[in-house]
């Protein structure tokens, strides 16, 4: 990673829809150089993909919560099975596997508080490996426009 790679990443995080020609112009390099650098970053796994950011409220999923989950017995099989199962639930936006007091953190989005309550009772509490969970409703979210800040080059 050099300064050019870092600047490519910064600009793509700001606007991943810009054309290669526009990106090259902003960087002050030839379009062919820019394209090769972006391809190399993709091959190395630095750039993992591009996506559209969707507002859950626009899809009638205006209530979001973070659900901390404790599971037992803790084993690779239990962790993998729950992670796969939870990530397939339509209410779940993200699944985090944790170390510490909680084993998982689920970011969920549902229609309203009644649907959140139903999700907790019907989806989580009925699972045999779940021994406890705590829910925190999200009132506001501040989204960082540039999710990965790279250190300044030395």
**Cα distances (angstroms) measured from residue 94 to each of 67, 89, 127:** 11, 10, 19
Domains in the chain, CATH or no CATH each: 3-43 (1.10.10.10), 56-138 (3.30.70.920)
Residue 88, CB half-sphere, CA atoms under 13 Å: how many? Answer: 6
- Return the exposure string of 96-114: e unless at least 16 CB atoms fall within 10 Å of the residue's CB, then b: eeeeeebbbebbbbbeeee
pLDDT reading at 145 higher than 80: no
Q: In what order do the strands lie in the sheet with 130-138?
A: 92-97, 104-110, 63-71, 130-138
**Residues in Cβ contact with 55 at an 8 Å cutoff, skipping those fewer than 6 apart:** none
The pTM assigned to this predicted structure is 0.80
Note the pLDDT tens digit of each residue in 69-116: 999 999 999 999 999 999 999 999 999 999 999 999 999 999 999 999
């Amino acid at each position: 990673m050099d300064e050019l790679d870092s600047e490519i990443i910064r600009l793509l995080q700001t606007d991943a829809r810009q054309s290669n020609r526009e990106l090259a112009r902003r960087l002050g390099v030839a379009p062919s150089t820019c394209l090769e650098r972006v391809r190399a970053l993709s091959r190395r796994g630095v750039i993992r993909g591009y996506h559209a950011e969707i507002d859950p409220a626009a899809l009638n999923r205006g209530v979001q919560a973070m659900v901390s989950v404790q599971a037992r017995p803790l084993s690779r099989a239990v962790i993998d099975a729950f992670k796969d199962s939870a990530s397939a639930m339509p209410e779940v936006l993200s699944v985090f596997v944790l170390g510490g007091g909680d084993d998982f953190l689920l970011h969920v989005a549902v229609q309203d508080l009644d649907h959140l309550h139903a999700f907790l009772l019907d989806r989580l509490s009925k699972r045999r490996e779940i021994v406890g969970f705590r829910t925190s409703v999200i009132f506001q979210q501040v989204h960082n426009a540039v999710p990965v800040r790279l250190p300044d080059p030395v």
